Structure 1
Amino acid sequence: MTQKEFQKLLEKQRQGSLNKAEENLLEEFVNRLQQNQKHRRIDPGDDHKKRIRKQIDQAIDAHRHQRRLLNSKVLAYVSGIAAVLCISFFAFRYFSVEYTSVTTGKGEQRSLVMSDGSKIWLNANSSLTYPVNFNENRNLQLTGEAFFEVFRDEQHPFTIKTGAVRTTVLGTSFNINSYDPASPVVSVRSGKVKVEHTNTGAKVYLVKNQELVFENANSPVTTTGNLQDIMLWMQKTIVLNNTSLLKTATVLENSYDVKIDFADPSIKELRITGKFHDEPLETVLQSIALINHLKIDTLSQNHFMIRKNAP
């Protein structure tokens, strides 16, 4: 969010014309301003700055007592001179943070070694945004899927935001799949992570071999088992475990940079199980057709249609 966009949202809030999406965006931004305050050292320097600091602390204390109501949150910052100073001070510091992004196309994967020593593998059709000064600010934004090996630093927690879900760790290895933003999946290979849903307040702690998915973005469901298959995408292996053809098509589209359509919507709910290690797309499609008695039409080099096979 730019400073201009932030000011525009504040003005719309004052006028009572915010829509639901804008309310959520402003609520999230105010929370992030608080988080930045917690991890930064502030040197007042003179009496004026000391007064500002005192006013900031008073505004934050008032805000914390009303944290569940967006209007109360924002009003705690914008009512009175102290609140105006608070917003101006925090916004200046926030907007001064530089961010960079890494994006992969369909059929592409990338690995990163961060400045703090953490390692990240980014799956196809995914993006990762993080601060340039990563050693001091380890807050990332993920779209798609990535696997993380996090360097432990108790002074700077490692946080990944995927839609309305926030995952926080100190040092561990885990996978996040957020191709479906409504139902992100967090899978832990080692260590311990905290997963929070910022809209519902749900909070779950996961340890080794535990996996969590927010069904319909509300109810967290945790399972335990051997999760090695979850990470096989880093070895160019596609794992299907009673997976619907609709979800399978999405996996193949991301992995091979193709388009897959269905001639009959009922086909989408058929299921398939199997592993395909660095196989040509034609081999995978032939297996799908054989198992489910289907036919694959090639519409172009990168466009396929799945239909029922005539009896």
Structure 2
Amino acid sequence: MESTPEQAMNIRRRAARAEASVWIVRLHGPDRTADLEAGFRAWLAADPENGRQFERVTETWEAGTAPVAGVARLAPRPRALASSPARQWLLAAALALVFIGGGLWSANYFWLNPTYATGIGEQRIVRLSDGTRITLNSDSQVAISYRAEERRVRIDRGEAYFDVAKDPARPFLVRAGDHQVRALGTSFNIRYEPTRTMVTLVEGKVTVSSLPDRLGADIQTPLPVEETILAPGQRLVVAKSKPPQLDQPRLDAVTAWRRGEVMLDKTVLAEAIAEMNRYDENTLVIDDPAIAGLKISGIYHTADNETFARMISKLYGLEVLHHSGEIHLATAHTPASN
């Protein structure tokens, strides 16, 4: 059963509160660094709910310690107002336990393995603590797992564009189903579907590796096998029960979704509609199988299936009907002659 908007908001709020509790512990701990503070600011910017929950947790924190002003909470407090470091640490740790309810492990889990997702028609930019930026397409989800020796991301569904920050000491690994992409500092696009995975390299260099089936969906994986090295402009398409295919598509077409567009080039109508439906809950439906093979070209706005249907209907003389939130395309009926 799908969660209601209210339930989803409660889950989001609890996750943000748990993460905020861990940030309180880390920021008042003995190992605070400039990188930690930068990561905290990136976390705040990632979601407005993060800031709201951090303020809430901070209010409770301040009730047991001296006042800390604004975002200057990141700045050292005057010694006359501050508690001892040991007391600060104990209070912060206790506060984290109170807010997450399930113990400090849960908060650490959220902080170490955050998940980011988008709904249909939504896009989101996620800035990670190392400077890497991930742009999520419509109806997509990724899970992050950063460690001291490596940076891991798992794509659970959808599509994402990666601008990876260079860090030779920590390889950047992205898993999509049974394949893994390895990069250091580069830009690439991954589209992950149930039946195929497409990796397109924009700049830099990546290797794409197959992974044994026995690994399942675990984000932690051993060394991959069967590597393919991509050059800028190349795309690797791996479909189930088919050999891998390497081609060179138009990069502006592959990344058109980042501009809110879909670029079609002699695409059959059935495939064009499947692509447009990724971005709009007003689903397009083909009523007449005879029109499914019509070839469609052009640039169309995402999340605007109504306009797409009108344009296609004028181009091919189709009829547009609306039923229960769906937009149906059918062959227009020609009036009978007298």
Shorter-chain TM range is 0.5 to 0.7
Whether 1:304 and 2:327 are equivalent positions in the alignment is yes
Residue 295 of structure 2: aligned partner: 271
Residue 243 of structure 2, aligned match among 219, 243, 268: 219
Percent identity at matched positions?
A: 28
Measure the CA separation in 1 of the matches of 2:249 and 2:231.
11
Residue 91 of structure 2: aligned partner: none
C-alpha change, 1:265 and 1:162, in structure 2 (3 Å) is: farther
Residue 249 of structure 1: aligned partner: 273
Amino acid at match of 2:253: D
Does the aligned pair in 2 maintain the 1:159–1:168 contact within 8 Å? yes
Please tell me the root mean square deviation across aligned C-alpha atoms, in Å: 2.4
Question: Offset of 1:257 from its aligned partner?
Answer: 2.1
C-alpha change, 1:235 and 1:257, in structure 2 (3 Å) is: same
Residue 128 of structure 1: aligned partner: 142
Residue 192 of structure 1: aligned partner: 205
Measure the CA separation in 2 of the matches of 1:197 and 1:135.
24
Measure the CA separation in 2 of the matches of 1:238 and 1:156.
35
Residue 167 of structure 2: aligned partner: 153
Measure the CA separation in 2 of the matches of 1:185 and 1:281.
25
Q: Which has the larger radius of gyration?
A: 2
Amino acid at match of 1:163: G
Residue 228 of structure 2: aligned partner: 204
Whether 1:101 and 2:101 are equivalent positions in the alignment is no
Does the aligned pair in 2 maintain the 1:297–1:306 contact within 8 Å? yes
Question: Offset of 1:295 from its aligned partner?
Answer: 2.0
Measure the CA separation in 2 of the matches of 1:115 and 1:134.
12
Measure the CA separation in 1 of the matches of 2:229 and 2:265.
25
State the SS of the aligned residue for 2:194: coil
State the SS of the aligned residue for 1:269: coil
1:50-94 alpha-carbon deviations (Å, 9 max, x no partner): xxxxxxxxxxxxxxxxxxxxxxxxxxxxxxxxxxxxxxxxxxxxx
Does the aligned pair in 2 maintain the 1:176–1:186 contact within 8 Å? yes
Measure the CA separation in 2 of the matches of 1:288 and 1:295.
9
Residue 41 of structure 2: aligned partner: none
Unaligned runs of 5+ in 1: 1-95
Residue 188 of structure 2, aligned match among 143, 167, 174: 174
Question: Offset of 1:266 from its aligned partner?
Answer: 4.5
Does the aligned pair in 1 maintain the 2:280–2:302 contact within 8 Å? no
State the SS of the aligned residue for 1:256: coil
Residue 133 of structure 2, aligned match among 119, 129, 132: 119
Unaligned runs of 5+ in 2: 1-107, 214-224
Query: TM-score w.r.t. structure 1 length?
Result: 0.62
Residue 262 of structure 1: aligned partner: 286
Query: TM-score w.r.t. structure 2 length?
Result: 0.57
Question: Offset of 1:281 from its aligned partner?
Answer: 3.1
Measure the CA separation in 2 of the matches of 1:187 and 1:287.
30
Does the aligned pair in 1 maintain the 2:159–2:189 contact within 8 Å? yes
C-alpha change, 1:273 and 1:154, in structure 2 (3 Å) is: same
C-alpha change, 1:134 and 1:248, in structure 2 (3 Å) is: farther
